[in-house]
Structure 1
């Protein structure tokens, strides 16, 4: 599904923040991405989401060389990816329900075909009583759960999550992880960036560890 070969990334004329990354993400796989603050986890997620292009090296995604893609082709591929950023990126003029349903609307599905599905997912992430609220009145944890629901609602082929359990209590964190695991069982490849070692230790999953811009893989 994803292949990196000797990938490097720098911002402007600064030093490389990612160096010589070579790895694969296989279909139906589940992995944690971890490492100290400033190691480059968010930059790697942005490369995977195609919102950044590498300074050097080759990235192949869904069988396509990223360097050769047009903007329209990138937009098409990104519809196959779900992502949860730390800043959530909810649309303030849309209700929680509308934000979560947005990927399905973009796909052209009529509301009657997905309404029950969206409501069921909102109940699962404990937002059933907040579905008609606008993001500015939601707490940080509620925004995070809404962003997660939006990322998974369309059952993407690849799910990327940047610290998805950082603003919730441990029981809800476990529940959200179960949601990611069930999505993985249904065929989605999952990459979760986290600092939570205790959480990772509860699951037998591959670990991608970034340190000083280099990647170490533990299967």
Structure 2
């Protein structure tokens, strides 16, 4: 599903913040991405989401070399990827329900075909009473759960999550991780970036560790 070969990334004229990344993400796989603060986890997730181009190397997504694709083709590929970033990226003028339903609207689906699914997922993540609330009045944890619900609602082929359990209590963190696991069992490849070693230790999963600009993989 994903193949990086000798990928490097630098910002401007500075040194490479990521270098010589070579790895593959198989379809239906589950892995954690970890490493110290500033190691480049968010930058790697942004490259995987195709919102950041590498400085050098090959990135192949879903069988396509991204260097050969125009903006419209990149946009189509991104529809196959769900992402949860630490700034959530919710649209302030849309209700919680509308934010979570957005992937279906982009696909052109009629609301009657997805409303029940969106409502059920919002209830499951504890936002059943906040469906009509706008993001500015949501707490940090509520925004995070809304962002997660939006990322998983359309069952993407690849899910990227940056510290998805950082603003919730341990019980809800386990519940959200179980949501990702169930999504993975239904066929989605999952990459979760986290600092939480205790949380990772609860699950048998591949670990991708960024250290000193390089990636090390432990099966």
Q: TM-score, normalised by structure 2?
A: 1.00
Partner of 1:80: 80
Distance, in Å, in 1 between the alignment partners of 2:209 and 2:48 is 16
What RMSD over aligned residues (CA atoms) do the two structures have, in Å? Answer: 0.3
Partner of 1:29: 29
Distance, in Å, in 2 between the alignment partners of 1:14 and 1:212 is 15
Partner of 1:2: 2
Matches within 5 A, 1:57-76: 57-76=57-76
Distance, in Å, in 2 between the alignment partners of 1:136 and 1:38 is 28
Partner of 2:109: 109
User: CA shift at 1:113, angstroms?
Assistant: 0.4
Partner of 1:160: 160
Distance, in Å, in 2 between the alignment partners of 1:60 and 1:123 is 37
Partner of 2:185: 185
**Structure 1 runs of 4+ with >6 Å offset:** none
User: CA shift at 1:76, angstroms?
Assistant: 0.2
Partner of 2:175: 175
Distance, in Å, in 1 between the alignment partners of 2:208 and 2:201 is 14
Partner of 1:55: 55
User: CA shift at 1:128, angstroms?
Assistant: 0.3
Distance, in Å, in 2 between the alignment partners of 1:121 and 1:213 is 37
Distance, in Å, in 2 between the alignment partners of 1:41 and 1:179 is 22
Distance, in Å, in 1 between the alignment partners of 2:64 and 2:168 is 37
User: CA shift at 1:212, angstroms?
Assistant: 1.1
Partner of 1:134: 134
Partner of 2:123: 123
Structure 1 alignment gaps of length 5 or more: none
Q: Secondary structure at the match of 2:179?
A: helix
Distance, in Å, in 1 between the alignment partners of 2:111 and 2:52 is 33
Partner of 1:210: 210
Aligned residue pairs total 219
Distance, in Å, in 1 between the alignment partners of 2:212 and 2:96 is 38
User: CA shift at 1:70, angstroms?
Assistant: 0.2
Distance, in Å, in 1 between the alignment partners of 2:29 and 2:121 is 23
Structure 2 alignment gaps of length 5 or more: none
